[in-house]
Amino acid sequence: MSGYDVIIVGAGNAAFCAALAAREKNVSVLVLERAPEDLSGGNSRFTAGAMRFAYDGVDDIRSLCPDLSEEQIAITDFGFYTTDQFYDDMFRITRFRTDPDLCERLVMGSRDTLGWMVQKGIRFMPIYGRQAFKVDGRFKFWGGLTLETWGGGPGLVDRQVQLAGRAGIEIRYGARVRELLFDGHKVTGVRVQKDGEFHNIKAGAVVVASGGFESNAEWRTRYLGPGWEMARVRGTAYNTGDGIRMAMDVGASPCGNWSGCHAVGWDYNAPEFGDLAVGDGFQKHSYPFGVMVNATGRRFVDEGADFRNYTYAKYGRVILEQPDQFAWQVFDQKVTHLLRDEYRIKQASKVSAPTLEQLADKMDGVDKAGFVAEMERYNRAVNTAVAFDPNVKDGRHTKGLEVPKSNWANTIDDGPFEAYHITCGITFTFGGLRIDPHTSQVISDDQAPIPGLYAAGELVGGLFYFNYPGGTGLVSGAVFGRQAGINAAE
């Protein structure tokens, strides 16, 4: 039975942060990835790479983006995103349910952890286009999201694999960890299935960082509720809850919002699981500038309730609850230039027409009369006296509607019109394992630390409830992954 000082289960961002941090302590590290190499990287590979972190101004951005030119700085208002703002967003978005100790560790460790990633060789860049619109010749960042990794999620994972190789970290692909070795007191290793054979591998400590259970249709229906088997999975097909199940088998305490998840508007014709060739291009996140209607032709959410960063992760559930689990997003020519790049991929389920009546004829499953009447009501209700500004919550709203639109409300009357067919795409589940906020050690259902067992990433419960501030997942994985690696090594 071979052995290592630290074994990491999973090969996404949280796992590699754990592996790189552990290796800094000069211990032997083995990464075990269930997926084959060409499909590896977990959900991290499917993300756009956005990172939410607290910063005080342009100097913090400079330190994380040494490639930023003076010309870019001159035309950009990076603003700031303080720790207080990060706290406020986390508590507001989760309806004050987020675990305060986990949240504090996340917020206070966010800036330092990105600095550590830069030191390791990860590169960041401003999210121009998706998080800043150019108004009067100047970009202004909004919604607490400013930086992303070079190359998005695929670039992040590829770079982490490269750094792991340089650091002498061994990675085995197609190696599914089936159970934790446990002597009744301490986790002593893992049992791995590879190429049809089982092997036991000893370890001084194990870090589980293998994602949530969003790719397990049976668990989704059991914990999230009826209908969730109908959702598409945005990311990897390999996040079926193995890490959570294994840890609970040795007494780990389940924690967090087990009936909650991150779920978004996703192309109606997207495949069952994510497609790496398309990445996150199936998402459709420019809805604040248009309207969403269901099969009856009626609007059902306030598309302008907040910046999309603070609503997109909960609206997937609302879409799934609509008749036949779909919606259409509708835009006119006043805003089509603002639509994100994902609206221009060749796989987009799009229809267009010169009039709303003709558009309705092409919107599969929608009641035409209901839609046309809804658009007439909506257009009459828009308060055009307020100026439209995509960079701020502009207060341009509707009046007198049962379902209001609070910001960015434009009349939809400038054809040709475009509509995009969407359903629910689940990203990751919120329920998971209880950990010590300061060490990432897994806590048992007797409320005691389990020696030798640590956790990081999407399978950590207690951070997110009901909703999610965009860009927090990768930072959470990095903060708690780095912490897990350090403590597992020690």
Q: Report how far residue 215's alpha carbon sits from residue 221's, in angstroms, rounded to the nearest whole number.
A: 11
* Domain hosting residue 151, numbered range: 3-213+430-489
pLDDT of 129 over the 80 cut: no
Average pLDDT value for residue range 36-46? 97
What are the pLDDT digits (tens) for 403-432? 999 999 999 999 999 999 999 999 999 999
pLDDT score recorded for residue 94? 98
Average pLDDT value for residue range 23-41? 98
Q: Report how far residue 168's alpha carbon sits from residue 6's, in angstroms, rounded to the nearest whole number.
A: 13
Same domain for 187 and 48: yes
Domain CATH for 307: 3.90.700.10
Is 339 among the domain residues? yes
Preceding omega of 254 cis (within 30 degrees of 0): no
Same domain for 191 and 56: yes
pLDDT score recorded for residue 277? 94
pLDDT of 1 over the 70 cut: no
Please state the domain count of the chain: 2
The burial of 123, by beta-carbon neighbours within 10 Å (0-12 exposed, 13-18 middle, 19 or more buried), is given as middle
Is 237 among the domain residues? no
- Which residues make beta-bridge pairs with 197? 194
- Of 402, 425, 448, the last residue of a domain is 425
Same domain for 351 and 467: no
- Of 384, 406, 425, the last residue of a domain is 425
What are the pLDDT digits (tens) for 459-481? 999 999 999 999 999 999 999 99
What are the pLDDT digits (tens) for 80-98? 999 999 999 999 999 999 9
Q: Report how far residue 461's alpha carbon sits from residue 451's, in angstroms, rounded to the nearest whole number.
A: 19
| Three-point CA angle 103, 51, 438, nearest 5° | 30
Same domain for 350 and 207: no
Same domain for 448 and 406: no
Same domain for 109 and 46: yes
Same domain for 445 and 417: no
Compute the mean pLDDT over every residue in the chain, rounded to the nearest whole number.
96
> Contact at 8 Å (CB) between 420 and 348?
yes
Q: Report how far residue 294's alpha carbon sits from residue 306's, in angstroms, rounded to the nearest whole number.
A: 21
Same domain for 401 and 365: yes
pLDDT of 52 over the 80 cut: yes
Q: Please tell me the least confidently modeled range out of 65-69, 97-101, 464-468.
A: 65-69
Q: Give the residue carrying structure tokens 């945005």.
A: 234
Same domain for 396 and 437: no
Same domain for 142 and 64: yes
> Contact at 8 Å (CB) between 123 and 67?
yes
13-23 vs 152-166: helix axis angle to the nearest 10?
A: 20
Same domain for 444 and 296: no
- Of 395, 410, 425, the last residue of a domain is 425
pLDDT of 354 over the 70 cut: yes
Domain CATH for 101: 3.50.50.60
> Contact at 8 Å (CB) between 117 and 69?
no
Is 239 among the domain residues? no
What are the pLDDT digits (tens) for 150-169? 999 999 999 999 999 999 99
pLDDT score recorded for residue 21? 98
pLDDT score recorded for residue 247? 98
> Contact at 8 Å (CB) between 178 and 210?
no
The H-or-E segment that residue 182 falls in is: strand 175-182
Is 220 among the domain residues? no
With bands split at pLDDT 50, 70 and 90, how would you rate the model's confidence at 239?
very high
What is the share, in percent, of the chain residues with pLDDT greater than 90? 96
What are the pLDDT digits (tens) for 300-351? 999 999 999 999 999 999 999 999 999 999 999 999 999 999 999 999 999 9
Would the CA dihedral through 372, 363, 328, 342 be positive or negative?
Answer: negative
Same domain for 328 and 341: yes
Is 250 among the domain residues? no
Is 236 among the domain residues? no
Is 150 among the domain residues? yes
With bands split at pLDDT 50, 70 and 90, how would you rate the model's confidence at 133?
confident
> Contact at 8 Å (CB) between 46 and 237?
no
Is 231 among the domain residues? no
Q: Report how far residue 299's alpha carbon sits from residue 291's, in angstroms, rounded to the nearest whole number.
A: 7
With bands split at pLDDT 50, 70 and 90, how would you rate the model's confidence at 132?
confident
Average pLDDT value for residue range 252-260? 98
- Whole-angstrom CA distances from 372 to 103, 329, 361, 403 are 45, 14, 11, 16
pLDDT score recorded for residue 342? 95
